A and B are shown apart, each in its own frame.
Chain A
Amino acid sequence: MTYGDNVTDLRTAMTVLLKRHRILQPLGGPGIYTVPETTTVEERRAMGEQIQRYRYVVLSWCAAAIDTVAPYFMVGLVADKYNQPVSALMYRLEVTASGITAGYPAMEELATPHSNKLVETWRQAAKACVLSEIDLGPSATHLELDAGRGRVVLKDAADFVRGLVVLDARYSNVPGWQHLKSPRRLESSAEVASIFARWTESDLAVDRAGWRPTPAAIKGPALPGIGGVVQAQHNTLVDLCTAPPTAMNLRRIIHAQVRVAHEAGRHAAHAAPELVEPFLTRERTYQQLHIAARNLGGLIGSGGQAAAESANAAERLRRAPVSSTDDTASLHELARLFTGVDARIAATIGHGCSEKLYLVSTSSHTLGDVIDGIRPPAKHWVPATARVPFDLLPIVRDRLQPPPAATPVRQDSIVNRNDYDLTIASQPSMRRNHNPTL
């Protein structure tokens, strides 16, 4: 699920909770003379404790989200950090969390639907937070964060904190309810952070980002015709995503991709003429890459499976019967896989060169200096980023790296957030007027 899916679920649950007043009634307690009391005080206390555990999950998610995006907004001296909106909110969340005694809910509590609608809504909120946790943290890269995307996450988290403060005051009558520590200060910090996040342009494309399961290889015997080529090319991409190939395997993959692109162009001439030019351009690019990589070495990595599948793709495409119009869809699928493989190879070469996984063999006119009476061989391997006549990286940068695609904004991203802003702003306990704009 994407960040947008999880946060929309959380926002929906929070909106439902914020619209719910007179909390004892939904918990089966007294309130209206015409509606009988259906639960005991002890049952309401148990439900209240369960809600507090769910609330702790939501609060922890907010803290984790703000911690994740904080590096994009914390500037200046460390001594000033409590004067900055984001750091101040982080500090208030830390203080609040330290005052909460309710722990995290057990997995059964998170996974099992509750018969009471109010508790169930809290469970939905907590569940959305747990599902979204994988996208947060300093090492999580699924959201591809930058300042624009970080602002969206910051505002979401700050607004959820404001919602929790509102709800905290409303649950006073629940038996055993423990209030948040210094709610006014927390709400104030969250509001300032929320306003701070609105100052400049946000990037709602973050809603489409998030963890996705790793695609699996297509196993089994080779599919007939172009299908077998798509199968092998897909498996190449899957293996390239698993681990970087050694330099030798990278050269083998590039070598096979030259033929794959060449043969794909031949097939496209019959089935999809619009793809001929892109395929031939790709062939030329890989030919140049192959020439530039002739002196590339490096023993770290794997990539044997990718090299084998690449060779399979080349061979199957060479032997496949000439494509007809029935193969048009398969060729377009192949073009889509080409884009993925190109991007992956570009990233692999860039990473391998910067991390010195790939080295370049260079000629040396002299032997090494004498050390302890022994003359060692001159060093013949230099990092690919060193100043040697090595034109692999410019080709990767200029011709292989796909242009950054603009991620379309989800239609419901703005609407959902505006609805939540309006709900928050309409709460009686809110002290200021809010502009429901992102």
Chain B
Amino acid sequence: MLLKHAIELAEARSYLVALADHALSFDGSMEYERVLLELDELHGGVFPPITEVPTSDPAVLYQVAYHAIAGLEAYDLDAFGLELCLAMLIAARETDTRS
């Protein structure tokens, strides 16, 4: 894993975790965690650690997480798997905001 890839993956993971921690509902939190698991699975269980994020605004967290996951396409990853992750993230957001 290249350094730039690791940094972007760390960013995506960190913002997903922040979304799960600041979720409005139990179901929303569980769905964000599922996205994290899927993303880690996509990387074969090899990933950089989570770091703290500078904000707790769900809208900002979501936007950063979305673009970080979308940006991983540049690193020779399975594009279909990434699209699934993004779809799961959108669904998680809907679940969280609906409840």
Q: Which of A53-61, A193-201, A290-298 touches B? A: A290-298
The answer to whether A363 and B33 have CB atoms under 8 Å apart is no
Q: How many residues of B contact A (CB 8 A)?
A: 20
Q: Is B46 an interface residue (CB 8 A)?
A: yes
Closest partner residue, chain A, to B34 (CB atom): A255
Contact pattern, B 71-86, Cβ under 8 Å of A = 1, otherwise 0: 0000000000000000
The answer to whether B33 and A255 have CB atoms under 8 Å apart is yes
Decide yes or no: A294 and B45 within 8 Å by CB, A258-B30, A262-B26 being known contacts.
Answer: no
Closest partner residue, chain A, to B26 (CB atom): A262
CB within 8 Å of A: which B6-26 residues: 13, 17, 21, 26
Write out the residue numbers on chain B whose beta carbons fall within 8 Å of the beta carbon of A363: 48-49, 51
The answer to whether A290 and B50 have CB atoms under 8 Å apart is no
Write out the residue numbers on chain B whose beta carbons fall within 8 Å of the beta carbon of A251: 37, 40
Q: Is B94 an interface residue (CB 8 A)?
A: no
The answer to whether A259 and B46 have CB atoms under 8 Å apart is no
Give complex CA distance A297, B34 in Å: 16
The one of A255, A258, A291, A299 that contacts B45, using a Cβ cutoff of 8 Å: A299
Distance (whole angstroms) from the CB of A308 to the closest CB of chain B: 13
Write out the residue numbers on chain B whose beta carbons fall within 8 Å of the beta carbon of A246: 45
The answer to whether A248 and B30 have CB atoms under 8 Å apart is no
The answer to whether A362 and B49 have CB atoms under 8 Å apart is yes
Contact pattern, B 25-41, Cβ under 8 Å of A = 1, otherwise 0: 01000100110110011
Distance (whole angstroms) from the CB of B44 to the closest CB of chain A: 8
Q: Is B66 an interface residue (CB 8 A)?
A: no
Q: Is B62 an interface residue (CB 8 A)?
A: no
The answer to whether A294 and B50 have CB atoms under 8 Å apart is yes
CB within 8 Å of B: which A345-401 residues: 360-363, 377, 380
The answer to whether A294 and B51 have CB atoms under 8 Å apart is no
Closest partner residue, chain B, to A262 (CB atom): B26
The answer to whether B48 and A361 have CB atoms under 8 Å apart is yes
Contact pattern, A 240-261, Cβ under 8 Å of B = 1, otherwise 0: 0000001110011001001100
Contact pattern, A 114-125, Cβ under 8 Å of B = 1, otherwise 0: 000000000000
Closest partner residue, chain A, to B3 (CB atom): A377
Give complex CA distance A362, B50 in Å: 8
The answer to whether A255 and B30 have CB atoms under 8 Å apart is yes
Distance (whole angstroms) from the CB of A269 to the closest CB of chain B: 15
The answer to whether B37 and A297 have CB atoms under 8 Å apart is no
- Other 11 A-B pairs with CB < 8 A, given A248-B37, A262-B26, A361-B48: A247-B45, A248-B41, A248-B45, A255-B30, A255-B34, A259-B30, A294-B17, A297-B46, A299-B44, A299-B45, A363-B48
**Chain A to chain B contacts (Cβ below 8 Å), 27 pairs:** A246-B45, A247-B45, A248-B40, A248-B41, A252-B37, A255-B30, A255-B33, A255-B34, A255-B37, A258-B30, A262-B26, A294-B17, A294-B36, A295-B47, A295-B49, A297-B45, A297-B47, A298-B45, A299-B44, A299-B45, A361-B47, A361-B48, A361-B49, A362-B49, A377-B3, A380-B48, A380-B49
